[in-house]
């Protein structure tokens, strides 16, 4: 397994160009958590339509999913991310089933924490109306006050609590 | 002008664009090493600052691109989606995501890239993300209040802190370069074998200087529209660039005559316009002149566009902007709309002759440089008749809901 990654500044520049192209073509930035939301909304309304109908969150999001095909945009974009990531994995020979973890925890602990982290991210992104891609990165590119506040809150919190979670990583 | 989507790209094509953009996004994320949680978490422990490097570089690249394209007038920055600011929710969400990042080692975008190459922890993270959204949705009544509290609008950071866009852009780039230098020093101390070891110092210094130079250039790049407004409100510019004028009488005559060769462009705010529209007019506010969907009306060469506003200066500014954008055959209503209402509908004496009477309309009846008695009589007789018909036509226009061609398409966002 090769682990040579692209120079981060070059990768950042390319990522910036992808983001810029997205904004120039579509008028809006990149995203990721929005696709998770669409998936949840679609699943719940498929399994329990009555429940979805009665809940304000689902009915509002269903309506906007229906009225506004741009919400489906993120689903297609995320499908693209899977394809693009997979392709990059082939090119750089990094396709393997592995679990990455710090040296002091077990694999199953790592998976548990990944699940909890994902859960927190999924919830937090609903409050902030976007995650690291949609709120922080895209928000920074368009100089949105809210996006930049969210970005500072994400990384600020990360640094503030890193010490307490060091066992997970180092 | 970009962006393309609301008007130029169909929804189906847009989804294909989404897929292609996603592929590029995923490829770059994976190539950068964002598919590895250990690498991502490194930013918080000093052994690997890849996240900061990629993230900051991408942010300033896109930001610089937006400012530069806005300066050149290629990108209409009023049309791009600016993430709305809900103060409490932005902070609370960010804090929760900060915990999520350090505990889970991924963020949603990177976890999807990790999942794509078989990272099992990334798959668990994505699963957790879905559960998180589900929990939020189920507990929404509990969270609704704080999620929607303190809505401050789609505000932009440079306005919030009261500096120009260019200055903020420069400061952000300076901060980024400063952070790159500092974190590289830290990384070399924490982990001498870290990624910074392989960097070519010369290239990185050159790139640093290059991006700082871009930052300095941003200081001198106001947004195209802002630049145009500044240029046009300069008194010297106003003196050297005249706009043809049309008197209230001539405009009234032509409107009553339903002259197919004129198009009245009403620049007033939409609410004001809907209360009292002129017959056959189109409502375009000055800042909307840039919008593509009005190019059909404004670009019609066979019609004389008459810009009408509450003041003549307003109409002149708008007309000069339109001329600068390449639209031709434009006149403005002299002395403003209130004078037309005053002199025609209310039959009071008008504000006198136009300041720049360069209309050259060839219509003797209204070209009143030398006013003799007979002409005054004619004008009076005309106004008496016109006051009735114009008032009637305006009522009709109002009742028919005066097709205000307001833009309904607005780019929707949301992560």
Q: What is the pLDDT of residues A5-24, one digit of tens each?
A: 999 999 999 999 999 999 99
Please state, in angstroms and as integers, the Cα–Cα distance from residue B259 to each residue in A71, B252, B380, following that order: 46, 10, 21
Say whether A126 and B147 touch across the interface (CB within 8 A): yes
Q: Could you list the residue range(s) of the whole structural domain that residue B36 is in? A: 5-223
Are B207 and B250 in a shared domain?
A: no
B207 touches A: beta carbon within 8 Å: yes
Confirm whether B408 is domain-assigned: no
Give the start-to-end residue ranges of the domains of chain A. Answer: 1-30, 31-96, 100-170
A130 in Cβ contact with A31 (< 8 Å): yes
pLDDT at site A68: 60
How many structural domains are present in chain B?
2
pLDDT at site B364: 42
Say whether A126 and B93 touch across the interface (CB within 8 A): yes
Are B216 and B276 in a shared domain?
A: no
Are B139 and B100 in a shared domain?
A: yes
Are B281 and B299 in a shared domain?
A: yes
Are B171 and B255 in a shared domain?
A: no
A92 touches B: beta carbon within 8 Å: yes
Radius of gyration for chain B, computed over Cα atoms and rounded to the nearest angstrom: 29
Interface test with B, best of A95, A100, A102 (most B CBs within 10 A): A100
Distance between CA atoms of residues A19 and B399, nearest Å: 46
Distance between CA atoms of residues B95 and A158, nearest Å: 8
Which parts of chain B have pLDDT scores under 70?
1, 5-8, 351-372, 401-415
B167 touches A: beta carbon within 8 Å: no
pLDDT at site A71: 65
Are B254 and B127 in a shared domain?
A: no
**Chain A nearest CA to B192, separation (Å):** 16
Distance between CA atoms of residues A7 and B182, nearest Å: 17
Query: Among residues B171, B191, B223, which one ends one of the domains?
Result: B223
Are B181 and B66 in a shared domain?
A: yes
Are B81 and B59 in a shared domain?
A: yes
Q: Treating both helix axes as pointing N-terminal to C-terminal, what angle do A8-26 and B11-32 enclose, rounded to 10 degrees?
A: 170
Pick the closest to residue B115 from A65, A84, A144, A51 (CA basis). Answer: A84
ipTM over 0.90: yes
Cβ partners under 8 Å of residue B359, min gap 6: B244, B245, B246, B247, B250, B331, B367
B90 touches A: beta carbon within 8 Å: yes
Say whether B415 and A33 touch across the interface (CB within 8 A): yes
Beta bridge pairs of residue B305: B263, B330
A131 touches B: beta carbon within 8 Å: yes
pLDDT at site B360: 42
Distance between CA atoms of residues B40 and A61, nearest Å: 31
Digit-coded pLDDT (tens) for A45-94: 888 888 888 888 888 888 877 766 556 888 999 999 999 999 999 999 99
Are B250 and B163 in a shared domain?
A: no
**Chain B nearest CA to A88, separation (Å):** 5
Are B47 and B165 in a shared domain?
A: yes
Are B153 and B10 in a shared domain?
A: yes
Are B355 and B292 in a shared domain?
A: yes
Digit-coded pLDDT (tens) for B325-377: 888 889 998 888 888 888 888 887 776 666 544 444 444 444 445 556 777 77
Say whether A142 and B30 touch across the interface (CB within 8 A): no
Confirm whether B410 is domain-assigned: no
Pick the closest to residue B22 from A79, A14, A19 (CA basis). Answer: A79
pTM for the model stands at 0.79
Confirm whether B256 is domain-assigned: yes
């Amino acid at each position: 397994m090769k682990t040579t990654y692209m120079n981060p500044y070059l990768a950042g520049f390319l990522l910036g160009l992808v983001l810029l192209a997205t904004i120039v073509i579509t008028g809006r930035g990149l995203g990721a958590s929005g696709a998770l939301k669409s998936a949840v909304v679609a699943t719940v309304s498929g399994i329990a339509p009555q429940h979805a109908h009665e809940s304000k969150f689902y009915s509002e999001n269903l309506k906007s999913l229906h009225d506004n095909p741009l919400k489906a945009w993120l689903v297609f974009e995320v499908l693209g991310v899977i394809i693009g990531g997979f392709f990059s994995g082939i090119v750089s020979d990094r396709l393997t089933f592995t679990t990455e973890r710090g040296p002091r925890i077990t694999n199953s602990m790592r998976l548990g924490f990944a699940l909890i982290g994902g859960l927190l991210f999924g919830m937090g992104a609903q409050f902030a109306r976007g995650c690291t891609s949609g709120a922080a990165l895209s928000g920074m590119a368009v100089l949105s006050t809210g996006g930049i506040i969210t970005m500072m809150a994400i990384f600020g919190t990360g640094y503030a609590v890193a010490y307490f979670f060091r066992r997970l990583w180092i | 002008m970009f962006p393309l989507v609301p008007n130029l790209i169909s929804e189906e094509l847009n989804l294909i664009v989404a897929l292609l953009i996603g592929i590029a996004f995923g490829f770059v994320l994976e190539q950068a090493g964002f598919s590895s949680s250990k690498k991502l978490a490194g930013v918080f422990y000093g052994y690997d600052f890849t996240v900061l490097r990629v993230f900051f570089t991408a942010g300033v690249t896109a930001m610089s691109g937006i400012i530069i394209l806005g300066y050149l007038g290629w990108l209409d920055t009023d049309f791009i989606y600016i993430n709305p600011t809900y103060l409490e929710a932005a902070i609370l969400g960010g804090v929760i995501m900060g915990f999520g990042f350090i505990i889970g080692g991924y963020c949603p975008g990177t976890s999807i890239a990790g999942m794509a190459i078989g990272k099992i922890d990334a798959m668990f993270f994505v699963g957790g993300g879905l559960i998180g959204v589900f929990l939020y949705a189920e507990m929404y009544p509990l969270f609704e209040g704080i999620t929607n509290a303190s809505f401050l609008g789609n505000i932009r950071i440079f306005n919030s802190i009261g500096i120009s866009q260019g200055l903020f852009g420069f400061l952000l780039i300076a901060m980024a370069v400063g952070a790159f230098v500092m974190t590289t020093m830290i990384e070399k101390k924490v982990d001498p074998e870290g990624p910074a070891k392989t960097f070519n110092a010369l290239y990185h210094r050159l790139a640093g200087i290059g991006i700082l130079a871009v930052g300095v250039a941003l200081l001198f790049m106001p947004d195209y529209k802002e630049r145009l407004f500044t240029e046009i409100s300069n008194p010297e510019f106003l003196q050297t660039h005249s706009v043809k004028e049309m008197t209230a009488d001539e405009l009234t005559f032509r409107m009553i005559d339903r002259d197919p060769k004129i198009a009245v462009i009403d620049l007033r705010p939409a609410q004001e316009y809907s209360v009292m529209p002129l017959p056959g007019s189109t409502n375009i506010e000055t800042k909307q002149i840039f919008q593509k969907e009005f190019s059909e009306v404004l670009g019609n060469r066979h019609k004389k566009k008459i810009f009408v506003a509450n003041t003549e200066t307003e109409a002149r500014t708008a007309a000069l902007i339109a001329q600068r954008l390449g639209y031709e055959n434009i006149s403005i209503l002299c002395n403003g709309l209130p004078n037309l209402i005053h002199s025609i509908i209310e039959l009071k004496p008008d504000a006198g002759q136009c300041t720049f009477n360069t209309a050259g309309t060839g219509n003797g009846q209204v070209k009143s440089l030398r006013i003799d008695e007979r002409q005054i009589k004619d004008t009076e007789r005309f106004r008496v008749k016109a006051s009735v018909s114009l008032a009637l036509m305006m009522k009709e226009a109002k009742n028919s809901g005066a097709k205000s061609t307001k833009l309904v398409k607005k780019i929707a966002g949301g992560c």
